[in-house]
Amino acid sequence: MAYNKDDELALIAKAREGDGDAYGQLVQANQDRIYASVLRQIRDEHKAMDITQEAFIQAYRAIDTYEDRARFSTWMYRIAMNLITSHYRHESAQKRGGSKTETSLQIEGMPEPGADQRTPDDQVAAEDIGVLVRAAIDELEDEYRDVVVMRDLQGLSYEEIAETLDIAPGTVRSRLHRGREKLKDKLKHLI
């Protein structure tokens, strides 16, 4: 159920006073959208559910820090994206430490490892490129990374991105262009 801004602010005020039911309504109104956004990036249902749940737990603990300049869903999205970034940093650290876990994010246009009959060397090279691309995306400033991820990895429209981030569609286009240019520069050695 979607709420208008006034209803949303009333629920947030109640949640700040410790009303669990009010917070539960906020969760219900936003959980599917947040989960879908996380799942598009993580591509693992269990991890996406864990990250989504952790995002709502963190939001509940920090509800007093919410500022009503943006919608609650935008704030939740930001928390979830920060958790995804932490997830990938942790995963990258494990890989550098010798862990054999797979990279769960698949870059659009790149097949899943093992999905075809490539040689092991080709599979490793493709996985390495995926890791390098994800690392380059992670290195972008937040304002560019968010729009690149939302547009190029999640497939959101300019209008959806603008609404989620509470910015103008023209700003989305500008940031996307700059973000892509920065990515091209970071990845030019692969081309």
- 157 shares a domain with 71: no
- 175 shares a domain with 142: yes
Q: The domain containing residue 120 runs over which residues?
A: 106-191
- Residue 158 sits in a domain of what CATH number? 1.10.10.10
- Give CA–CA dist 93/9, Å, rounded: 39
- 145 shares a domain with 59: no
- Residue 112, burial from CB neighbour count under 10 angstroms (0-12, 13-18, 19+): exposed
- Give CA–CA dist 1/156, Å, rounded: 21
Per-residue pLDDT at 169: 94
Per-residue pLDDT at 40: 78
Helix, strand and coil percent figures for the chain, each rounded to 5: 75, 0, 25
Per-residue pLDDT at 102: 42
- Give CA–CA dist 156/163, Å, rounded: 11
Per-residue pLDDT at 53: 96
Per-residue pLDDT at 104: 45
Question: How many structural domains is the chain composed of?
Answer: 2
Q: List the chain residues with pLDDT less than 70.
A: 1-2, 92-93, 95-128, 191
Assigned token pair, 86 = 């932490």
